[in-house]
Every structure is written in structure tokens, then in C-alpha cells.
Amino acid sequence: MQIELALMSEQGGRQVNEDACGHWHSERYLCCVLADGAGGHGGGDVASKLAVSHALQSYATRPAHDPQALRDLLRDTNEAVLAQRATTPQLRHMHSTVVLLSIDLQDRSALWGHCGDSRLYAFRQGRLATRTRDHSLVQSLIDGGLLDEAGARVHPKRSELYSALGAQGDDLHFSVQPEPWPLAGGDALMLCTDGLWEWLPDEEITAALAFATDPQAWLNDLGLRVRLAAADKPNHDNYTALALWLGD
């Protein structure tokens, strides 16, 4: 299976980029992780980098492409964030979203899990096939029929999360794909932070994909669209994405 991979991470209008992303692969497995941190006093930057590095190192030590393994990995990554908070008082409020993608190159399947409002999008034949659903207040309002997607993007509490890494006990919630998703040639996958998707409806992300010649061109186009959409918001958020294209 041939895979093209591209990355984009921009500071936006903030003083610090608190997003992080990375990937690891062996002959059989590929793992991609993206995170968006918060917490003040440098905590967001620390939390996101810790989430990405810990998840990738743990996966590399023992690649396991099944839903329970991803649940365990997300739970263990949360424990790593909590441990860092406990030993560093100035980081006691840090937390981070995370989205993790595992690909079995031999079986040609993908599996993903997430916590918070960083997302995974999966496209097939140029159309959006599925995407993750946020652990957030506005997502619960959408699910209850009290808000639509357009309203969610301008809601004053659109950044309020129900769960993120750094939560304890029953406050931690994450979602994992219930079974591997069979991959096909021509599929496109993207992990991204809310700093990207809050400016770009699903239809616009799909339209950009149709015009792109490769995954980096796709991300470059999306980045330009974010900058144009946020032109009158000088303090707009960091935006980060990792894209994968599967060869035929």
C-alpha cells in the first residue's frame, strides 16, 4: 500500500503554537497522532507535545491494531499527562485534545480514536465518508437538535469541551472506532485541530480535496482558506493538520 503523507502546523494569531503532531511507522503499521493543548503558563504546549510523544512511543513499543488497544493507549496517554501535572505545579491546569490514527498496511485497514474536539476526516471517491464527533458542548446541542453546524461555529461556548486529556476518573471520555475501517485506493484521511475546521465547513474541505494534486497541496489550500476566513480575527487559533492519501 502506497501512502503519501503531509503536515501543516501554523501559529495563527497566537503568541505560541500549542498544537503538536507526529507519526511513526514500521513495515506493517503506521500511527499518526495530533493534539491541541491548553492550560496557561506554557502548559498547552507541554500537554500537546507530551500527548503526541507518549502515544507514538507507546504504540511503537507494542503496535496493536484493535479497538481495545487504542482505548488502553488513550487511557495510558491521559495518565502520562496527569503524572506531568502532578510533578509540575505550574502545569496543574494543562490539558490537551488528541486524535490518533492506526493503519495496518498489511490488512489495509484504519482504526482511530479521539478525545476532545480535534477531528479525523475520512474521504472515499472524493466524498466525505465519515468523521469523528466532538466531545463538546456544541456537539451535544447539535445532537439534541438545538443547534446546526453553522450555528456551532459561532456559538460563544464553542470551545467548551466535555473531555480532554488531563481529566480524571469519570470525567475522561474518549471515542474509538468500533472496528477497523477497510481502506481502498484513492482514500484520503485528515487529522486536524479545531483551529482549522472551525473556519471550514465539511463541504469546503471536500471541495479543496477535489482540486488538490497531492496531500501537501490540499493542506496548503486549506491553510490559505483559514487565513482568508480569519482575516478579521487577528487572534485566531493555531491550526494544524496531517493528511494521508492512499495510492491505487
Each residue's pLDDT tens digit, 163-197: 999 999 989 999 999 999 999 999 999 999 999 99
The per-residue pLDDT for 42 is 72
The whole-number pLDDT of residue 160 equals 85
Do 119 and 191 touch, CB atoms closer than 8 A?
Answer: yes
Burial class (CB in 10 A: 0-12, 13-18, 19+), 168: exposed
Cβ-based neighbours of 9, under 8 Å, separated by 6 or more: 17, 19, 20, 21, 238, 239, 240, 241
Residue of 77, 89, 95, 83 whose CA lies nearest to 37: 95
**122 forms bridges with which residues in the sheet?**
130, 189
**Cα gap 213→247, rounded to integer Å:** 13
C-alpha 90, offset from chain centre: 26
| Alpha carbon distance 174, 167 (integer Å) | 11
The residues, any chain, with a CB within 8 Å of residue 218's CB and separated by 6 or more, are: 6, 188, 190, 208, 209, 212, 243
Model pLDDT for residues 112-124, shown as the tens digit of each residue: 999 999 999 999 9
The pLDDT score that the predictor gives to residue 40 is: 67
Cα–Cα–Cα angle for 160, 175, 230, rounded to 5 degrees:
40
User: CB–CB of 176/70 below 8 Å?
Assistant: yes
Yes or no: say if 214 and 246 are a contact pair by the CB < 8 Å rule: no
Location of each CATH 3.60.40.10 domain in the chain: 15-136+161-195
Query: Which regions in the chain score pLDDT beneath 70?
Result: 40-41, 248
Please tell me what DSSP assigns to residue 238. P
User: Could you give the C-alpha distances from 103 to 8, 16, 66, 211, 247, in angstroms and in order?
Assistant: 20, 31, 10, 26, 14
Cα–Cα distance, 107 to 25 (Å, whole number):
15
Could you please state the CATH topology (level 3) that the domain comprising 15-136+161-195 is classified under: Phosphatase 2c; domain 1 (3.60.40)
